[in-house]
Amino acid sequence: MELLTGLVCIGAGALGLAILYAILYNSLIGKKNQVEYAFSGIDVQLKKRHDLIPNLVATVKQHMEHERGLLERITELRSRALNPNLPENERMQAEAALSGALRNLMIAVENYPQLRANENFMHLQASLNEIEEQIAAARRTYNAAVTDYNNAIEMFPTNLIASTMGLKRRAVFEAEEAERATPSVSQLFKT
């Protein structure tokens, strides 16, 4: 009789542990997928920016003779970012450089009053502003998802399961060095 009770207890304990394991395991998978989903959110916005760039470059080209170098750099960075064979981190670097170059373009525009009177350009500029804001929002969403995920894989008890699943800490997006520094127009001509 006692043996039976003991067996039942062990069985119940094992079942409880198994359920707990399943819950924690699923929550970790959920968090991991959340990170990937958030990452694809950034990609959607970056894609929108890629679509906008040819139009933008074509519009400003006629007016900005002196900014030819900058425009070429933007076009080149765009095609590099679009290259499917590029490793993930290099692609992100290209995107960051593209962000910086576009920002510098918008500053350079200040010197071309006829551009700022151009309806088409104003519309493109507003769209770009909008997309940049969306990119920033998507990155913050990604960072929040990564923080959540990192917390889960480092905190007890999920860390025990995470190590058996081979989950690794992920890095959050940080503002690029180039983004943080105030852009200087003169530097652009050296590239």
d(CA 156, CA 159): 5
Of 78 and 139, which CB lies nearer to another protein in the complex structure?
A: 139
Count CA atoms within 13 Å of residue 31 on its CB side: 24
Of 75 and 183, which CB lies nearer to another protein in the complex structure?
A: 183
Of 77 and 115, which CB lies nearer to another protein in the complex structure?
A: 115
Interface ranges with another protein (CB under 8 A): 38, 41, 126-127, 129-130, 133-134, 136-138, 140-141, 143-144, 147-148
* Shortest separation between residue 34's beta carbon and another protein, angstroms: 9
Q: By three-state DSSP, how is residue 191 classified?
A: coil
* Shortest separation between residue 152's beta carbon and another protein, angstroms: 12
Of 72 and 133, which CB lies nearer to another protein in the complex structure?
A: 133
* Shortest separation between residue 117's beta carbon and another protein, angstroms: 16
DSSP per-residue letters across 14-56: HHHHHHHHHHHHHHHHHHHHHHHHHHHHHHHHHHHHHHHHHHH
* Residues 6+ away with beta carbon under 8 Å from 125: 106, 109
* Shortest separation between residue 57's beta carbon and another protein, angstroms: 20
Burial of 63 per CB tally in 10 Å (0-12, 13-18, 19+): middle
* Shortest separation between residue 16's beta carbon and another protein, angstroms: 21
* Residues 6+ away with beta carbon under 8 Å from 50: 78, 81, 82
Of 38 and 77, which CB lies nearer to another protein in the complex structure?
A: 38
